[in-house]
């Protein structure tokens, strides 16, 4: 059974940093590109960032470019998102996912507020 378990969310002040983690199991992690997708409360889905299987190709949404960094450790079956200079508009539920394979975690909530 595929499992993606996110962690690291919480309440953080504007301008501070947070690192999200995602532990994967039940599939061959290093065969797949992985992504972070977020959903602000009551809003739609927004793709945040994606990374190829070997970390050789990385993409970011314009809204997070220069502030967020995606990475992965295939030896640990783990995906990460380093979020710096957080803003109120980054408040959302963050999903670790491979959407085209229909692999989704349960999400971890990030709240940016003073």
Partner 1 sequence: DIQMTQSPSSLSASVGDRVTITCQASQDISNYLNWYQQKPGKAPKLLIYDASNLETGVPSRFSGSGSGTDFTFTISSLQPEDIATYYCQQYDNLPPRYTFGQGTKLEIK
Residues found near partner 1 in the complex (CB under 8 A): 33, 35, 37, 44-47, 50-52, 57-59, 62, 95, 97, 99-102, 104-107
Nearer to partner 1, 52 or 113 (CB): 52
Smallest separation, CB 73 to partner 1 (Å): 17
Smallest separation, CB 62 to partner 1 (Å): 7
Rounded distance, CA 82 to CA 70, Å?
Answer: 6
Tokens of 39: 């959903």
What separation in angstroms does the CA of 60 have from each of 7, 25, 42, 76? 20, 25, 23, 23
Nearer to partner 1, 101 or 113 (CB): 101
Nearer to partner 1, 17 or 52 (CB): 52
Smallest separation, CB 101 to partner 1 (Å): 8
CA–chain centroid gap for 30, Å, is 16
Q: Are strands 108-112 and 10-12 parallel, antiparallel or unpaired?
A: parallel
């Amino acid at each position: 059974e595929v499992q993606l378990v996110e962690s690291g969310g919480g309440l953080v002040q504007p301008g501070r940093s947070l690192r999200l983690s995602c532990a994967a199991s039940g599939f061959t992690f290093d065969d797949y590109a992985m992504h972070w997708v977020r959903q602000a409360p009551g809003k739609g889905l927004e793709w945040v960032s994606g990374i190829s299987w070997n970390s050789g190709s990385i993409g970011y949404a314009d809204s997070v470019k220069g502030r967020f960094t995606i990475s992965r450790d295939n030896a640990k079956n783990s995906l990460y998102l380093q979020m710096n200079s957080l803003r109120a508009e980054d408040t959302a539920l963050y999903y670790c996912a491979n959407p085209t394979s229909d692999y989704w975690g349960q999400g971890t909530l990030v709240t940016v507020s003073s």
